[in-house]
Structure 1
């Protein structure tokens, strides 16, 4: 009887201590996901992490339904801001394709961008499983093997491709996705009724939805995760007036830093 009493007392003491530590925030009730670990990882620079407040990577990827076992395509990773998050979150479980401009050997933006990305990927083991494919704007491209992808993502790229390019990209994404797969789009948002020629770099949300639907997608939902009501899309050098580009340099820098990064639409489509 005495031994049983001691066992009960120890169990109660352990439970009370665990509850106390939990309330004090010293024990994490839910261990961080691979996505959360990737976002917090030391491989990301402090400058890139500072942009999380504008880009909301955890909330954005969660909205798109990201899971670490998925096959994911990121279209034109650019400098690899999102690749830094996707690659380690998928490593060992899922698969990441980076559909990027090919290196044609020419000294131009496209080839140089590919070279920089390849150098970045080779420089850290967290990127060792990333597969690069060739994406050519306004031409049919195999982003990933047909019907293989669970999720295709594009972040702030539509404005570079023009209408014909966007329409082709959506067709390419549709081909790469499995049935039920998701296309996730984040883009600088043109205010409804605004003149696109006076708001350079901004894209119509309604037009984007129509273009995706024309490619066969079903529009599922939009999110205001990446909205910014301070951005009126009426800047001297378009969206590039805002951070991180700050196209005007030091001129009115405080004003544009106070606005922050652009107002963005976040759209989810399903094949």
Structure 2
């Protein structure tokens, strides 16, 4: 007997969450090969694993996503084109470097800057309350204690109930005091504690960026560590 598929069933199949996620990841892969990325940026792909990382965070092309402290735009060059058509991409904190360069050109015309373009943490407010995700990559260690409280609170307020907060950073030994070699690292246990205190729930962690041969002894910019630092990858959720 021939099987019949109703238009509704076909639409449901075509728009399934799995398919939407797969299409987004394919968009990230396409962005990875874009001419706007430098050879130096592309050389970091195998280490930073953007496809796997964004998949772990559950990012999809119809989401409203905020990236904090984009730096030179390594993740921006991937997320902006992938979210351009169906979602919305935002940037905040330390965005002045990109404002006059990258953001003037397609596919970055839809990227929006919110909150502070510099590093103004007092009364930090992204002026949003319906984000699906806030992401920060290798930046949590840059903030002092008061700044981390401010960032976590602002991220919480900007997310809709059920929204996710994804954090990746270089690992510091648990309870190790700051010294000349670990300033660009952070204690993941302390990160979890602080982010939970902001109201978030820890959902999961990933070993994507675990490096067994990083002894956590040296500064991440040293030749013996650069590109091979152990990093924690944490997924939090704002309660629904």
TM bin (shorter chain): 0.7 to 0.9
Q: TM-score, normalised by structure 2?
A: 0.82
Listed as ranges, the gaps of 5+ residues in structure 2 are 1-21
Listed as ranges, the gaps of 5+ residues in structure 1 are 1-29, 102-112, 242-252
| Alignment counterpart, residue 77 of structure 1, candidates 52, 59, 70 | 70
| Counterpart-to-counterpart distance in 1, 2:82 and 2:173 | 34
Number of equivalenced pairs:
213
Report the CA distance shift for 1:169/1:193 in structure 2 as closer, same or farther (over 3 A).
closer
3-state SS of 1:127 partner? coil
| Counterpart-to-counterpart distance in 2, 1:164 and 1:138 | 8
Q: Which has the larger radius of gyration?
A: 1
Residue 118 of structure 1 corresponds to which residue in structure 2? 99
Q: 1:64 offset after TM fit, Å?
A: 0.5
Instruction: Tell me whether 1:269 sits opposite 2:236 in the alignment.
Output: yes
3-state SS of 1:165 partner? helix
Task: Tell me if structure 2 keeps the 8 A contact 1:73–1:144.
Answer: no
Instruction: Tell me whether 1:214 sits opposite 2:181 in the alignment.
Output: no
3-state SS of 1:66 partner? coil
| Counterpart-to-counterpart distance in 2, 1:52 and 1:98 | 21
> Within 5 A, what are the aligned runs for 1:43-58?
43-58=36-51
3-state SS of 2:54 partner? helix
> Within 5 A, what are the aligned runs for 1:1-271?
33-101=26-94, 114=96, 116-135=97-116, 136-145=119-128, 147-197=129-179, 198-235=181-218, 238-241=219-222, 253=223, 255-256=224-225, 260-271=227-238
| Counterpart-to-counterpart distance in 2, 1:187 and 1:55 | 11
Q: 1:41 offset after TM fit, Å?
A: 2.2
Deviations 1:82-103 (A, max 9, x none): 00000000011100110123xx
| Counterpart-to-counterpart distance in 2, 1:64 and 1:190 | 22
Q: TM-score, normalised by structure 1?
A: 0.73
Moved more, 36-45 or 161-170: 36-45
Q: 1:37 offset after TM fit, Å?
A: 1.6
Would you tell me which structure has more helix in proportion to its own residues? 1
